[in-house]
Chain A
Amino acid sequence: MAHEFPSKEWTDAYAEAVNGNEAYRTAGKDWAHGTVAMVVKADESLGIPADVGMILDVEGGRCRGTTYLQGMGAIEEADPAFIIVAPYPRWKEVIAGDVDPIKAMMQGKLKLTKGHLPTMLRFVESSRQLVVSAKNVPTRFLDE
């Protein structure tokens, strides 16, 4: 069954996909740098009235849990170590596997608004594998 993106169900399915990705387990095995929030910017035309945050509690190559939040205030209060923000169409490209996450950041498609960039660069393969995992989630997009 396809899960609507973004939603709590999609976020939970994403965690399962991350844990099912052997390559992520290897690339992220030394990750002990905190949670990662993917934030979809509010878009009234798509029925997203407030920013949506999907927070992944990743450590040691595993996703230990997720949090789904609405509103940037709530997301910031959850204090994720990393916050990556993009509008809906950009996340759609990432989930479809059409863009490399670091290249997308260089192009300004994804913005790291909080977090230690040198750490993220050290774990570049881990970031890639998170994207590969997203591709494996059966996804229903709001604009399709």
Chain B
Amino acid sequence: MTAPIELDPGAEDNGFALMLADLLRQNLEDHPDKARDFARLSGRVAMVVEDAGVAVTLRFDAGRLVVHDGIVGIPDLTIRAGSDDITQMSLMELLPRVRLPDPRGEATRRVLRASREGRIRMYGALANLPLVVRLTRVMSVS
């Protein structure tokens, strides 16, 4: 079954929005086990790719996702990073059973280093930990 992931009409020209929608669709097709996390995701996530000058809002609603161009509404979680670090976030290796980032993985280590150095900044993460964990799982290609 194809996951209900839609692009808001204004997002069709936003390359990052197209990429995220494709990435999430293909991840859910490749890894059906991610569907449970996707179904439990609710909230707004804003992602800003600083060096590319693009932003999107992912509006998750219990098994549905609409990808918007720019920041729409008040995000529960905001992630700001460069294009390379955003790419690394999607490559984070997950531990097999708990499906949390594997600190031994190369991409995970890069993301952790970028976070420590302030190149990846997350706002609202502490107040929305389940959202962060589920988002990491559905975005990761591993």
Contacts and interface: CB of A to CB of B under 8 A. Distances in A.
A22 to B, nearest CB: 21
B13 interface: yes
Given A103-B49, A104-B15, A108-B18, 6 more contacts: A108-B15, A108-B16, A118-B23, A118-B30, A121-B87, A122-B141
Given A117-B23, A117-B26, A111 B18 contact: yes
Contact of B91 (A109, A116, A121): A121
A100 interface: yes
B15 A121 contact: no
Contact of B16 (A106, A110, A124): A106
A111 B15 contact: yes
B91 A122 contact: yes
Contacts of A103: 49, 51-52, 83-84
Interface of A: 100, 102-112, 116-118, 121-122, 124
13 contacts: A103-B84, A106-B19, A106-B86, A107-B54, A108-B13, A108-B16, A111-B18, A112-B19, A118-B23, A121-B87, A122-B91, A122-B141, A124-B87
B53 interface: yes
A103 B87 CA distance: 9
B78 interface: no
Contact of B19 (A100, A109, A117, A122): A117
Nearest to B90: A121
A94 to B, nearest CB: 14
B22 interface: yes
Nearest to B82: A103
B15 A105 contact: yes
A27 B33 CA distance: 29
Contacts of A121: 23, 87, 90-91, 141
B42 interface: no
Contacts of B84: 100, 102-103
A108 B16 CA distance: 7
Nearest to B83: A103
Contacts of B49: 103, 106
B51 A118 contact: no
A111 B49 CA distance: 17
Contacts of A124: 87, 91
Those 7 A-B pairs whose CB atoms lie nearest each other, nearest first: A108-B15, A118-B141, A103-B83, A106-B16, A106-B52, A117-B22, A103-B52
A108 B22 CA distance: 14
Contacts of B51: 103
Listed residue (A100, A102, A103, A116) with the most chain B CB atoms within 10 angstroms of its CB = A103
